[in-house]
Amino acid sequence: MRKVYLDNAATTPLLPEVREAMLPFLGEVFGNPSSLHDWGDTARQAVDAAREQVAVLIGANAEEVIFTGSGTESNNFAIKGLALAQQSKGKHVVVSAIEHFSALHSARTLEKWGFELTEVPVDKYGMVNPDDVRESIRKDTVLISVMHANGEVGTIEPIKEIARIAKENKIVFHTDAIATAGTIPVDVKELGVDALSLAGNQFYGPKGVGALWVRRGVRIMPLLDGGVQEGGRRAGTENVPAIVGLGKAAELAKASMSARIKQLTPLRDRLLKELPASIEHVMVTGHPQNRLPGHASFCVEFIEGESMLMFLNMEGIAVSSGSACTSRALKASHVLIAMGISHELAQGSLLCTFGLDNTDEDVDYMVKVLPPIVDRLRQMSPLYSKFIKASKGGK
């Protein structure tokens, strides 16, 4: 059976070059970077080299890059750490309504700790309006955090404009660039941000490693106390193999970014066009143009995502969904709901994200396999039969 992996937003595979770079650090090179001997030196040099590679990817200085255990940790660290470091100045934080849970829930935790939170809405494309951010600013606002792009609907946010507004008001601005760093050009100076999160498994690096960049001079409170690793900002013995892998992945991403974008964009565009053309009542979610290169997301009316996923999996296709039934909490995706999509329609959420292994044949296969699955589920759906009866009776 054909195997088609269209879930690169969940995680990308590890590139062979990245694995090769990591291997020595899973074997003979095992020293602790903090140790004062040759073993330690070799490990520390490897970590520093990786820091440089990550810095180059985002146009930053290496000493401003802090390695973390995941994108989730980076976002937790940024939101909590940047707010807590400034709490004597004020206790108001602004985030968008469609942040990843690692950012949104961190902000809500701050609320429990006595901060006040404003969640800025998005339009039907999942786009934040910079004016809404401007209006949400108060005298006591100390942090604004808006993601660079949303991983569920692919929309790229107007970060430059929002960063400018934050700067005008002298407010620290963090962006969650987990969906973009290593995928599309990300330059911290050009974006004008103060802090930025990224994660290795979004651009063919290993899982369980991320980074937070914080501009020099911006204060952040550590979440983990302990030793003085990462300049005292993140204690804990470094995950050397993963950090080395992240560095290598960053280097490769930088070198081949435009080629990758050129490869993924036509696949995405084909699927965005061909799925709605081959199945009735399918809408594209997210921004039609301003979206991540490999990202195609939809809502299929009258059916539910998990059952779609299960049938697709049986055909060898891996995708994901923001339906309530697919979530552990049995809640529809907060992103789709914030975009004004009904709970019913959100049930049919379908997310296909392309990676470097995908080809035109994969698109062909998806477009061939999905329509009969949708048809089969619709034949079972009481919503569909109601719709058919209403449209027959009504006209």
Partner 1 sequence: MPVYSEKVMDHFMHPRNVGEIENPDGIGEEGNPVCGDMMTFYIKVKDNRLEDIKFKTFGCGAAIAVSSMVSEMAMGKTLDEAMKITPTSVAEELQGLPKNKFHCSNLGAQALHKAIEDYLSKQKAQGEKKE
Contacts with ligand FES, residue ranges (CB under 6 A): 324-325, 330
The position carrying tokens 């009258």 is: 302
Q: Is the Cβ of residue 214 or residue 332 nearer to ligand FES in the bound state?
A: 332
Concerning whether 325 is annotated as a catalytic residue, the answer is: yes
372 contributes a contact to partner 1 by CB under 8 A: no
Per partner kind, with CB cut-offs from 5 to 8 A, the member of partner 1, ligand FES, none near residue 201 is none
Pick from ligand FES, partner 1, none: which does 332 bind, CB < 5 to 8 A by kind?
A: partner 1
Quick check: 303 binds partner 1 (CB under 8 A)?
yes
What is the 8-class DSSP label of residue 128? P
Work out what residue 9 binds among ligand FES, partner 1, none; the CB cut-off runs from 5 to 8 Å by kind: none
Is 309 among the residues that bind partner 1 (CB under 8 A)? yes
Give φ, ψ of 30 to 5 degrees. -120, 5
Choosing from 116, 306, 356, 387, the residue that interacts with partner 1 (CB under 8 A) is 306
- For ligand FES, the closer CB: 106 or 323: 323
Exactly one of 228, 325, 380, 390 is catalytic; name it.
325
Q: How many CB atoms lie under 10 A from the CB of residue 108?
A: 17
**Residue 166 and residue 192: Cα distance in Å, rounded?**
9
The interface region with partner 1, picked from 11-19, 138-146, 158-166, 326-334 by CB under 8 A, is 326-334
Q: Closest approach of Cβ 324 to ligand FES, in Å?
A: 6
Look at residue 381 and give the partner it binds from ligand FES, partner 1, none, a contact being a CB closer than 5 to 8 Å depending on partner kind: partner 1
Amino acid identity of residue 233, one-letter, is R
Q: For residue 237, which of 36, 76, 35 has the smallest C-alpha distance?
A: 35
Phi-psi region of 213 (alpha: psi -120 to 50; beta: other; left: phi over 0): beta
Tokens of 113: 């700790």
d(CA 343, CA 320): 17
Residue nearest to ligand FES (CB): 325
Stretch that binds partner 1, among 65-73, 119-127, 234-242, 319-327 (CB under 8 A): 319-327
The one-character DSSP state at 201 is G
Q: How far is CA 28 from the centre of its chain?
A: 34
Radius of gyration in angstroms for the set of CA atoms belonging to the chain, rounded to a whole number:
22
Nearer CB in complex with partner 1: 302/365: 302
Is position 382 an interface residue for partner 1 (rule: CB under 8 A)? yes
12 vs 40, 132, 182, 210, 242, CA distance in Å? Answer: 31, 34, 11, 14, 15
Contacted by 128, from partner 1, ligand FES, none: CB < 5 to 8 Å by type = none
Catalytic (active-site) positions: 325
